[in-house]
Copies of this chain bind each other. A is one copy, B any other.
Amino acid sequence: MTSTALSIGEFSRMTYLSVKALRHYHDVGLLAPAQVDDRTGYRSYVPEQVATGQLIRRLRDLDMPIEDVRAVIDAPDSTTRDAVLAEHLRRMERRLEETRDAVASLRALVEGSGHTGVVTFRSIEPLWCAAIEGFVSLEDVHDWLLAAYGELARHLGALGLTPSGPAGALYAADVFEVEAGDVVAYLPIGAPIPARGRVSGRFLPAVDVATLVHHGAFADLDRTYGALGVEVAARGLAGTGPIREHYLVTPADTPDESQHRTEVCWPITHLP
């Protein structure tokens, strides 16, 4: 006994997938009709495919990329499938949180709230540190730093060392200009240390910088960058090299974002 043939139109109504979408899914091999007429090219589907179509619609409604949908559909067992689904749901939760942050950041901007401190010009002393370097996208940089500082702290712990100052990071201009670039996460220490894994000892030479302390969430850091950059440009001091950040008060210290402090250091050619 063969299954009932369903035309593309019928199948569309049963799955709420548009006919255009169904043809596209056929093209990319996500959901091929059970049969295609040699002569007319008419597609036909079978009832067993309806549930798959309904699953695809739900996943696409949640903006899951087609390749990920394919992974769910082709999962060899329900454990694998559920893992892929759970991973996507986690990503959605994360994006939800980011959206909430973005709304808060927007509100703060249009309300004109936010702290504007005073720009200071100073030399940063040379220092030895334990560092991890990587090519990171602006989008991922927060997670990347969290992982990096964890690794650095464990490494120093194993060596019986304690950081001699706040955590810092260097950002190549490309991190902002093309939204991906070299980032160095570091914890300052007094002297060279042996490399291990991603962690290496690193010497940061002295630099002259303009600095401004950012008060509040990381999502609003651009405002401090703006104020600082404008001041530096207005004085004709714009230097080259990475931007440095010092993490003075972080989410690890307090969940109250208004208390967070990040010192932004913008390279300058010389002290004014």
Distance, CA A8 to CA B14, complexed state (A):
52
Binds B, one of A156-164, A182-190, A194-202, A228-236: A228-236
The minimal Cβ–Cβ distance linking A230 to chain B, given in whole angstroms, is 4
Copies of this chain = 2
What mask results when residues 214 to 238 of chain A are scored 1 for a CB within 8 Å of chain B, else 0? 0000000111011001100110001
Distance, CA A57 to CA B55, complexed state (A):
34
Residue of B nearest to A5 (CB): B233
Q: Which residue of B10, B62, B226 contacts A99 across the interface (Cβ within 8 Å)?
A: B62
Specify which chain B residues have a CB less than 8 angstroms from the CB of A223 in the assembled complex. 54
Interface size on A, residues (CB 8 A): 54
Distance, CA A103 to CA B51, complexed state (A):
16
Within 8 A of B (CB), among A172-218: 173, 176-179
Specify which chain B residues have a CB less than 8 angstroms from the CB of A250 in the assembled complex. none
A170 on interface, CB distance cutoff 8 Å: no
A9 on interface, CB distance cutoff 8 Å: yes
A153 on interface, CB distance cutoff 8 Å: no
Distance, CA A98 to CA B63, complexed state (A):
12
What mask results when residues 7 to 42 of chain A are scored 1 for a CB within 8 Å of chain B, else 0? 001101111101110000000000000000000000
The minimal Cβ–Cβ distance linking A231 to chain B, given in whole angstroms, is 9
Binds B, one of A104-112, A125-133, A252-260: A104-112
Question: Are the C-beta atoms of A47 and B230 separated by less than 8 Å?
Answer: yes
Question: Are the C-beta atoms of B12 and A106 separated by less than 8 Å?
Answer: no
Name the 9 nearest CB pairs between A and B, nearest first.
A14-B229, A14-B226, A50-B226, A47-B230, A58-B106, A16-B222, A4-B234, A13-B176, A61-B102
